[in-house]
Structure 1
């Protein structure tokens, strides 16, 4: 019965916090800018509830278990046991979330020809392409002179982007590139059958600048770049023996 009360209290607290967050994040119509999407109050409430509820429910259950275990210690008052249970449960929950967040980081290295500027791509699950090499368990993407890298690795890494970027000169020396010079693309995939051949590969990348590095450039949206089509032509020809025209005509 007491556990049920904890669960109900967690649900009520989640509802209350989500409602407050949705009201605070609401943007009045008079302050909305054109061509900018704003979440409605109901959307903010829904997504806040989805995110907050599991955390508070886990926190409540852990605190309840700790409180029950502390119940055997007679010299502690019930108030002290309750406070101590919440502190310990909050610490465990925070540590777990931190570890999960760190485990969902991309943490890759990109080696780019010195002086290159423009679109950079990595294509995954390409037939006959090499696997990604590693340095100290960190994946290294060696970008060619045309601005891309192909690998047979089935899929990309997902999570918080913590990648590092370097220019590489003729002697192999690495020159660090600021993240402010990098504007990330979204991920895109191709799944299709042409004749007896099945294509299923994905790609992503970023736009790289040398002279316009800034927070504004880093935050710009570029879709999936402008030169991907030409690279796909080369991939189809070199790795699958398929003419691009045949690919297009099969749609």
Structure 2
């Protein structure tokens, strides 16, 4: 009887996950060659193109943009992608990251050069909810510490970028 109770308790606490298909985050990020800094992907943005697929992966093209508020700093340039595609599912992360040169050649980025910062959303007066996902990329600080914590100046950059776009979609 105790064994049956233990099995039922474990099944209940795990949310019966043995009966559910595990969700994954399957993205390919295409980042301009040599880029270092924060990247924000904005989902559900009206009038923006949908993201394309490569097999099971969703391709996220990143563009370098400049933020006037950071003009005289080393974090003036940031990465962004805008899409009308709804927010992707979350779960086990199987994302891939590539630098892309001007000829389209992809070079894999080591996972210790990538920091997943987080996700969130905002809506302005238009009441359109914009969902975003943030990450940081480095070529010069690749290590376990960067992978887990990122770099503070890139966190500051992310805050400025979000503030700018929150006001833009207000």
TM-score if structure 2 supplies the norm length? Answer: 0.76
Q: Of the candidates 93, 107, 114, which is equivalent to residue 33 of structure 2? A: 114
Question: Does residue 163 of structure 1 match 2:82?
Answer: no
Q: Give 1:42's aligned residue.
A: none
CA distance in 2, matches of 1:216, 1:227: 19
User: Would you tell me which structure has more strand in proportion to its own residues?
Assistant: 2
Deviation at 1:127, TM superposition (A): 1.2
State the Cα RMSD in Å: 3.0
- The count of residues paired between Structure 1 and Structure 2 equals 155
Q: Deviations over 1:21-60 (max 9, x none)?
A: xxxxxxxxxxxxxxxxxxxxxxxxxxxx6xx2337997xx
Q: Of the candidates 1, 10, 19, which is equivalent to residue 4 of structure 2? A: 10
Runs of 4+ in 1 over 2 A off after TM superposition: 8-11, 52-58, 221-237
Deviation at 1:222, TM superposition (A): 6.5
Deviation at 1:107, TM superposition (A): 1.5
Deviation at 1:207, TM superposition (A): 1.0
Question: Does residue 136 of structure 1 match 2:55?
Answer: yes
Q: Give 1:125's aligned residue.
A: 44
Question: Does residue 54 of structure 1 match 2:12?
Answer: yes
Deviation at 1:156, TM superposition (A): 2.4
Q: Deviations over 1:145-176 (max 9, x none)?
A: 12010111121221111100000011110000
Higher relative contact order (CA 8 A, sep 6+): 2
Deviation at 1:10, TM superposition (A): 2.6
Q: Of the candidates 218, 226, 246, which is equivalent to residue 156 of structure 2? A: 226
CA distance in 1, matches of 2:112, 2:82: 25
Q: Deviations over 1:43-78 (max 9, x none)?
A: xxxxxx6xx2337997xxxxxxxxxxxxxxxxxxxx
Q: Give 2:68's aligned residue.
A: none
Q: Contact conserved, 1:10 with 1:53, CA < 8 A, in 2? A: no
Deviation at 1:187, TM superposition (A): 0.8
CA distance in 1, matches of 2:15, 2:164: 51
The verdict on how the C-alpha distance between 1:112 and 1:230 changes in structure 2, with shifts beyond 3 A counting, is same
Q: Give 1:100's aligned residue.
A: 21
CA distance in 2, matches of 1:154, 1:186: 17
- What 5-or-longer segments of structure 2 have no aligned partner? 66-78
Task: Work out which of the two has the higher radius of gyration on C-alpha atoms and give 1 or 2.
Answer: 1
User: Would you tell me which structure has more helix in proportion to its own residues?
Assistant: 1
TM-score if structure 1 supplies the norm length? Answer: 0.54
Q: How does 1:145-160 map to 2 (within 5 A)?
A: 145-146=64-65, 147-160=79-92
